[in-house]
Every structure is written in C-alpha cells, then in structure tokens.
C-alpha cells in the first residue's frame, strides 16, 4: 500500500476502534415516514401529496426544469432570483468579515460556519468562542475586546456574533432577544452584527414559518438570517436575508456562490411550491407546524417520567428538557411562550450506537441517529430523535406504555443496562 493509503486507512481504523467511524446508512427497504426519527423533514413535506401535486403541475408548465448549466453569475433566469444554491454559511463568513474584525461564535455553531470563518480574512486570534447560549459570557468577551481595542470602540472594526436560532444537535433555542440587546448596548456605534442561522427553525416557527427572528420581531436588528430549504421545506439550497449591499458584495466576493453550479430549475420550482404552501397561512402547513409543536410537547411529557428513573450516566435528557420549569423565570409575561417546544430531542447516552441499533431492530423499527464526537463535544454522545408533522401521537408512543418504554430504555445486552432496566420496568 502507498504511504498515503496507509495513513488514510489508519485514520479510518482508529475511528472504527473508537466507534466514531461514519458510514452511509443502509436499508434493504425504504424507511417508512412513520419510522423516520432521523431526517430533518420536520413538516413531512417531502412526502406531502399536496406538495407533490403542486410540484408536478408546476413542472409540467415550466419552460425549463433541468440543470441550470452554470454558476449563478451565468444564469440570468428569474426562477433563480430569490433562491440560491451554495454553502451560504461558508459564503457569508468567508467573505463579509474584513481584516481586523472579530467573530464571536456559540461553541455549538454548525460546522459550515467554522468552515466559513476558517476561510475568512479574520485573524484566527479574533475568532472567539463563547459557551453555548451564554449571554453573560458573550458580554464578558465583548467587554474585554472593547477594553483592549480602540478600533472596536470607535467603530472602525466590526464584531460579528454567529448563532443558530434552533441548534440542530441540542434542540436548544438561542436567547436571541438578549443577544441582540447585548450587542446593541455594548457596541453603540452600530458596528456589532448578529447573524442567525435559521436552518432548523425555517418553516416551523414565526408567521408563515419565517423563523425565530421573525417570531421575536427582530428582523430589523440582525444583519443576516440564513434559511435553508433542505430541511422543513423538502428541497435544497439556501437564502440569506440581508442588506442589498451585502447581497451585491456576496455576488462579487463569495467564492462558494461564484464558482458553484446553481440549483436545477426543478429544485427552484419545488422550493417555490413549498413557499406557496407556507404563504397560504390559512392552510395545511400552519396545521402541520402546530401539530409538530403539539407533538413535541406531548412526546417530552411522556418521556420525562420514564427517564427520571434511569441512571443519568446511562441515559438522560439534556438539562434544558429535563423539567417543565426550564423557562427563564426572568422572562416578562410577553415572553411566556419562549422557548417554544422543540422537535429535536437528544437522548444523552454513552452507548448511542447500541441504542440506535436496538431501536432500528424492533418489530416496528424506529430509525434514529447516533451522534458522537466530533459532531458533538466529547462526553455528550447521544441518539437524536427528530419529530415530524407526519408522526402521530401513536408514533410518539415512546413512553406511552410500559412495554414500549422498556424497549427504548433497554439500551444494550452486555452493557449492564439491560439488566438494570429489567429490574426497574
Ligand atoms: C445549522 C445548519 N446550518 C446550515 C446547514 C447547511 O444546510 P444545507 O445542508 O442545506 O446546505 C445545516 C445542515 O445540516 C445546518 O444544520
């Protein structure tokens, strides 16, 4: 074997030994929507007959439906005007922050933001991580920077703050109001900019599924919002909602946008059909989103009492989902609905592969995702359950009855967990 092959094989084998090697999922038959607790098809639009019919009709009347044939800069068609296909986070963070600027980012921010920051012209010493959702820590870092740097104090340099509105691995919501307020207060020269990745909130929260920024009325106070179409909207691609100036700058400087073949026409048409469903606020999608939130609340209520009796080192919910009193007591009455229910429910366990394999092997299989380092921090491996609007309360039976709960909790033979579970249930 060549030296390169040796090195690559050794890296994979090391991952294999540590049970963190990634593989493509294999399944002999298609996963039924009711058994899919893995995908981010939150509104179940990927299997919606309404969307399918609208899409088929739109395809049959569209002038072009296949490949775009080139980069967005080469494709003059109106179909692509509002929607783009590119790695939006990489494009934004690699292009917009300028030399001398700083980026403060939540420690759980998505990998694509890291890729963008790594490719940016910001010095690596000015990429500053703050603990997950900690406004106190963000404030502390900003104060320190302001103390040290007069270019930030007088507005010559900018500070960007990168967060997700709903975190994909944790199901936590960023305290967006507090973050925006903190940035505005500490940087009164208006050189502080909040960027919100709404990938997992798009379609579900806010009026017509416009996301958490819109739900909280913060549209005018964040610099950019990233909405992806690959999750609740059953398509692919992304849009960045931002200023005209930033849009034009991205068109000139964002390499992932300039040098990537843009979306196919069919993809644009599919996303437009999904948007039509969202915009028609009276209808189906609103009901789907409401059902999803109701299901998310219900599922947690069922799960909590069962997990309370499990040894937390073997299986537990993360802190923010453990009790119903997780709402911030300092919230004003108008904030009573924050945080809303989350369809992303992590089950923390040191045996995520065993638990996921066990769930998939049930007579009525449940497909979930085992998630380990490096996707999540060391010591926080988990099985992630993603609920969808297409699930019913019967699918969310996780803790509905003793027998089924036992199956979920019976993590693995030979790891001592099974015996413990048996004695408890
Ligand atoms: C938080 C977040 N941002 C951005 C993306 C990128 O979205 P896409 O895969 O549609 O490019 C993802 C995808 O997993 C994500 O979870």
**CA-based nearest residue to 174, from 141, 209, 130:** 130
What is the residue with the minimal CA distance to atom 4 of ligand 1? Answer: 199
**Ligand 1, residues at Cβ distance < 6 Å:** 87, 89, 110, 112, 164, 168, 197, 199-200, 228, 230, 236, 238
The neighbour count for residue 65, using CB atoms within 10 Å, is 16
Lowest mean pLDDT among 27-36, 54-63, 147-156, 236-245: 27-36
| 154 CA distance to ligand 1 middle (Å) | 35
pLDDT for res 231? 95
**Which atom of ligand 1 approaches the CA of 237 most closely?**
10
pLDDT for res 281? 66
| 386 CA distance to ligand 1 middle (Å) | 15
Render pLDDT for 174-212 as a digit per residue (tens, 0 to 9).
999 999 999 999 999 999 999 999 999 999 999 999 999
State the average pLDDT over residues 81-86.
55
Q: Which tokens hold the place of 330?
A: 């300092």
| 228 CA distance to ligand 1 middle (Å) | 7
| 199 CA distance to ligand 1 middle (Å) | 6
**Which atom of ligand 1 approaches the CA of 110 most closely?**
1
CA angle in degrees (0–180, nearest 5) for 163-169-172: 55
Q: Which of 228, 369, 384 to mutate to test the pocket of ligand 1 (most atoms within 8 A of CB)?
A: 228
Distance between CA atoms of residues 301 and 151, nearest Å = 50
**Which atom of ligand 1 approaches the CA of 89 most closely?**
4
Q: Please list, in sequence order, all residues whose beta carbon lies within 8 angstroms of the beta carbon of residue 339, skipping any fewer than 6 positions away.
A: 172, 173, 320, 326, 327
| 42 CA distance to ligand 1 middle (Å) | 14
Above pLDDT 90, what percent of the chain?
60
The neighbour count for residue 74, using CB atoms within 10 Å, is 11
Distance between CA atoms of residues 409 and 362, nearest Å = 12
Q: Sketch out the chain's domains with CATH numbers.
A: 29-46+283-424 (3.90.1150.10), 78-278 (3.40.640.10)
**Which atom of ligand 1 approaches the CA of 238 most closely?**
10
CA angle in degrees (0–180, nearest 5) for 140-143-145: 110
Categorize the per-residue pLDDT at 344 as very low, low, confident or very high, splitting at 50, 70 and 90: very high
Q: Is the pTM of this model over 0.75?
A: yes
């Amino acid at each position: 074997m060549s030296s390169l092959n040796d090195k690559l094989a050794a890296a994979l084998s090391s991952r294999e030994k540590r049970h963190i090697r990634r593989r493509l999922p294999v399944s002999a038959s298609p996963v039924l929507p009711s058994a899919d607790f893995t995908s981010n098809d939150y509104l179940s639009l990927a299997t919606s007959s309404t969307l399918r019919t609208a899409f088929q009709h739109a395809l049959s009347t569209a002038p072009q439906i296949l490949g775009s044939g080139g980069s967005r800069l080469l494709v003059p068609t109106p179909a692509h005007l509002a929607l783009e296909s590119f790695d939006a986070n990489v494009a934004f963070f690699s292009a917009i922050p300028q030399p001398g600027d700083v980026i403060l980012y939540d420690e759980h921010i998505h990998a694509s933001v890291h890729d963008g920051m790594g490719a940016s012209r910001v010095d690596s010493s000015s990429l500053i991580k703050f603990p997950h959702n900690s406004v106190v820590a963000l404030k502390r870092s900003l104060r320190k920077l302001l103390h040290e740097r007069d270019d930030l104090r007088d507005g010559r340099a900018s500070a960007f703050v990168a967060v997700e509105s709903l975190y994909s691995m944790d199901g936590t919501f960023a305290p967006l109001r507090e973050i925006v307020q903190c940035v505005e207060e500490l940087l009164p020269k208006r050189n502080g900019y909040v960027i919100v990745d709404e990938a997992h909130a798009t379609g579900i929260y806010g009026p017509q599924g416009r996301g958490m920024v819109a739900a909280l009325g913060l549209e005018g106070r964040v610099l950019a919002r990233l909405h992806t179409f690959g999750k609740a909207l059953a398509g692919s691609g992304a849009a960045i909602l931002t200023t005209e100036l930033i849009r034009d700058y991205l068109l000139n400087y964002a390499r992932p946008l300039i040098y990537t073949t843009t979306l196919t026409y069919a993809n644009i048409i599919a996303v437009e059909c999904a948007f039509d469903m969202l915009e028609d606020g009276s209808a189906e999608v609103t009901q789907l989103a409401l059902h999803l939130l109701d299901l998310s609340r219900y599922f947690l209520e069922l799960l909590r009492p069962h997990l309370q009796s499990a040894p937390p080192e073997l299986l537990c919910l993360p802190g923010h989902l453990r009790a119903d009193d997780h709402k911030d007591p300092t919230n004003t009455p108008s904030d009573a609905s924050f945080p809303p229910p989350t369809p992303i429910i992590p089950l923390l366990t040191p045996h995520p592969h065993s638990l996921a394999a066990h769930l998939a092997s049930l007579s009525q299989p449940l497909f979930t995702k085992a998630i380990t380092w490096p996707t999540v921090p060391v010591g926080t491996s988990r099985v992630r359950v993603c609920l969808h609007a297409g699930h019913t309360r019967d699918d969310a039976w996780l803790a509905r009855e003793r027998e089924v709960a036992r199956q979920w909790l019976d993590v693995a033979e030979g790891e001592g967990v099974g015996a413990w579970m048996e004695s408890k249930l």
